[in-house]
Every structure is written in C-alpha cells, then in structure tokens.
Amino acid sequence: MRSFIASMIVLSSLCCSLHAQQLDPNSSPKRVIYATTEQQPEFPGGLPKLKEYIQQNLHYPPAAQKAMKEGTVFLHFIVSEQGALEDVHVRMPINPDLDAEALRLIKTMPKWTPGKIAGKPVACRYNLPIKFAL
C-alpha cells in the first residue's frame, strides 16, 4: 500500500511545438537530434497511459519519504528514430533518492512512438517532469 501520491505533470516538451523544426544543441552531423518536430514523440497510448504507467511504476524512496522530501524532478531524454529512450538525464535535481527513482522510471519505460517530420521518424529531445508528493 502506498502512503503517498505520486503524480506527474506533463507541462510541455521541446518536441511539442508545431513551429519550424529546430535542432537540439547536442545535434551533430553524425546524429541529428531535433528540439521540435511536426509530430511529437508519444508514450504508447498517449498521455493517459503515460500517467497510468507513472502512477503504477513510481516508487517513493523510503529514505526520501521518511525525510519528508517532495518536489518535481525535471528530466530530459532523446526519443530515438526507433522509439528507444536514450541519454536520460536529470535537468534539475532535487534530492539524490528522488532523482534516482525518476531516472529508473524513465529508463524502464517501453519504447515510444518517435517524433516525425514530413512523416519520417526522427530523434527528438523530450522533457518530462516527475512530481513526488507525500
């Protein structure tokens, strides 16, 4: 039984924009990574299934729970052309235990539907905040 409410906030991603496509600052001629795409990457089943996945798979770390640590961990990662999640990093750390759990959660996610430009799958940077609340 969980004694906490774990929820996520999907604010927006750099990939959500319908404006002109922009390259990610880490893009290179060897690996093109977009910051914006025409069609954003998507968790299988969309946002409702992403929320469900997070609620079912996020485990509040006992040490953080005992210390009454709360907050939002901001992560970013690349959704590859094949939908694999790569280069997962914490952008705004809040607590080592919460950061580690958010990273674990993202790294265990199934493949996503990749972002697309002109109907072609492309690698895209995605930002996702994970909220921990007691």
List, in order, residues 6 or more apart from 92 with CB less than 8 Å away: 72, 73, 74
Domain ranges of the chain: 5-133
| Nearby residues of 116 by Cβ (< 8 Å), 6 or more positions away | 37, 38, 39, 122
Q: Which two tokens mark 41?
A: 């990457």
Cα 6 from Cα 60, distance rounded (Å): 8
Tell me which H or E stretch contains 124: strand 120-133
* Cα–Cα distance for residue pair 120/86, rounded to 1 Å: 19
Residue 67 makes CB contacts below 8 A (sequence gap 6+) with none
Q: DSSP label at 110? A: P
How much is the pLDDT for 20?
Answer: 58
Each residue's pLDDT, cut to its tens digit, for the chain (134 residues) gives: 333 333 333 333 333 433 457 877 776 778 899 999 999 999 999 999 999 999 999 999 999 999 999 999 999 999 999 999 999 999 999 999 999 999 999 999 999 999 999 999 999 999 999 999 99
Q: What fold does the segment set 5-133 form as a domain? A: 3.30.1150
In angstroms, what CA-CA distances link 124 with 11, 63, 78, 92, 100? 17, 34, 5, 20, 23
